Amino acid sequence: MKVTINGKETALSENPARTIDSLLEELDVNQRLYVTVEFNGEVLDRTEHETTPVADGDTIEFLYFMGGGRS
């Protein structure tokens, strides 16, 4: 199956049990415990990561914390 992650089409193995939470682990996403996930245009609550299944054609954005500036 194919999904779009941060604007890039990405091939994933077929896995009907895959959720946003397991995808974060599978891809070893940066800031995995803190990253914000936008799923098909909607920002998910963290509690929804485990309950949101990932299907063919989904669009996923990982939004990272970026701090630095001053020092």
Partner 1 sequence: MNEEQIQRYSRHIILKEIGGKGQQKLFDGKVLIIGAGGLGAPIALYLAAAGVGTIGIADADDVDLSNLQRQVIHFTPDIGKPKVDSAREKMQAINPDVKVVTYKEWVSAANITGIIADYDFVVDGTDNFAAKFLINDACVMAGKPYSHGGILAFDGQTMTIQPGVSACYRCIFPEPPPKDAIPTCSQAGVIGVLPGVLGTIQATEAIKFLLGKGDLLTNRLLTYSALRMKFREVPLKRRATCPVCGDHPSIVELKDELDAMTVCDLGR
Q: Note the residues at the interface with partner 1 (CB under 8 A).
A: 6-7, 31, 33-34, 36, 38, 41, 43, 45, 61, 63-71
CB of 11 to partner 1, least distance (A): 20
For 6-39, give the secondary structure using H, E and C: CCEEEECCCCCCCEHHHHHHHCCCCCCCCCEEEE
Whichever of 15 and 64 has its CB closer to partner 1, that residue is 64
Q: In this complex, which beta carbon is closest to partner 1, that of residue 16 or of residue 69? A: 69
Q: How far is the CB of 16 from partner 1 (least distance, A)?
A: 28
What residues contact 21, with CB distance under 8 A and at least 6 apart?
Answer: 49, 50
Cβ neighbours for 51, distance < 8 A, ≥ 6 positions apart: 19
Distance in Å, CB of 14 to partner 1, minimum: 27
